[in-house]
Amino acid sequence: MPAPQRERNLDLSIGAISLALFAVSIGVLIWFLVAQIDNPEPVPDSIHRQLERLTDGQGDARATFDILLILLWGFLHSFMTRPRFKVHLQKVMRPHLEPAVYSIVASAGLIAVCLLYRPIPREVYALEGGPALMMRLLFYAGWGLFLYCWFHLDLLEVVGLRPIFSYLDSAGRPLEPFRPTGPFLWVRHPVELAFLIAFWAAPHMSVGHLLFACVMTFYTFLGIDHEDRRMLELHGAGYAEYMKKVPQILPLPR
């Protein structure tokens, strides 16, 4: 097979892996929040036994491990967005692959967090009957919002496939004017709002679930601030005006 064809196939394979891993990571997160976050054996036995030696029977040790696990993923997730790191990364790989590699690392890291997270099953509250049903419906409504957002976002751009297609077609894609549609007319960050709903809408809340929701909420708001600054750099006055008119995360009138 000629070298250009091998490179093309490799590029498309990396893009396909990024897309597939993104989908798997969302599925794993839903499974984790619904069925696994309080499970005493969240990972395979061999790994579970090793984690038990470090954390079992020690509530504080479990909490410390879980916080460090999420912060490590968050640090890696954020560090890879730094311009200086991107410059170094593009020295060892072709620039059009960088978004897909970033997506692969972020998705794989989220899967690892869900599989390695240590439960702290002490109960904070437990709803029953109608309130429990309403909370579960709210949880799935959050994921409905998440799905709806992708009708107004370019998923292939997010997972890094679009830059690969543009490179292979030798057609650069100019920056499009900022034109929010759909849920982006209600709030600036509806995807993050969907995640926050999913983190907190639980008919049964354990200490471990509460810890996960708190740390992930903290990281989500850091990401929102970073995204606002990035969009301001890209779109300038247009995004600044959008920020004045549309609330950040809650659809409240201004």
The answer to whether position 252 is within a domain reads no
Asked if 18 and 100 count as a contact pair (C-beta separation under 8 A), the reply is: yes
Residue 251 falls within a domain, yes or no?
A: no
Has residue 254 been placed in a domain? no
* Stretch (H or E) spanning 51: helix 45-55
Does 32 reside within a domain?
yes
Instruction: Return the ∠ at Cα 108 (arms to 24 and 37), rounded to 5°.
Output: 70
Summarize pLDDT for 91-113 with one digit per residue, the tens: 777 788 888 888 999 999 999 99
Proportion of the chain above pLDDT 70, given as a percent? 88
Residue at 81 is within a domain: yes
Which pLDDT value is given to residue 172?
59
Residue 55 is predicted with a pLDDT of 56
Stretch 217-237: mean pLDDT, rounded? Answer: 88
pLDDT at 192: 94
pLDDT of residue 26: 95
Distance CA 204, CA 99 (A): 37
User: What's the pLDDT score for residue 60?
Assistant: 63
How far is 24 from 112, CA to CA, in rounded Å?
Answer: 12
**Residues 143 and 193: beta-carbon distance below 8 Å:** no
Q: pLDDT class for 56, splitting at 50, 70, 90?
A: low
Q: In the prediction, which pLDDT does 216 show?
A: 94
Give me the helices (H) in 170-206, please. Answer: 190-200
Q: What is the pLDDT of residues 197-216, one digit of tens each?
A: 999 999 999 999 999 999 99
Number of structural domains (the chain) is 1
Mean pLDDT of 64-79: 86
The whole-number average pLDDT for the span 34-61 is: 62
Give the pLDDT confidence score for residue 24 in this predicted structure.
96
Q: Are 21 and 110 in contact (CB under 8 A)?
A: no
Task: Please say if the pLDDT value at position 233 is more than 90.
Answer: no
Are the CB atoms for 37 and 124 separated by under 8 Å? no
User: What confidence tens digit (pLDDT) does each residue in 117-142 have?
Assistant: 988 888 899 999 989 999 999 999 99
pLDDT of residue 48: 55
Q: What is the pLDDT of residues 234-247, one digit of tens each?
A: 888 888 899 989 99
CB 38, CB 206: distance < 8 Å: yes
- Indicate whether 76 belongs to any domain: yes
- The whole-number pLDDT of residue 10 equals 86
Determine the 3-state secondary structure of 126 from DSSP. strand
Domain residues for the domain of 124 are 3-245
Q: Which residues, in sequence order, are CB contacts of 10 under 8 Å at separation 6+?
A: none
pLDDT at 52: 59
Mean pLDDT of 183-202: 94
Q: 160: burial class by Cβ within 10 Å (0-12, 13-18, 19+)?
A: buried
CA atoms of 85 and 87, how far apart (whole Å): 5
84 is a domain residue = yes
Is 253 part of a structural domain of the chain? no
Averaging pLDDT over each range in 38-42, 148-152, 250-254, which range is the top one?
148-152
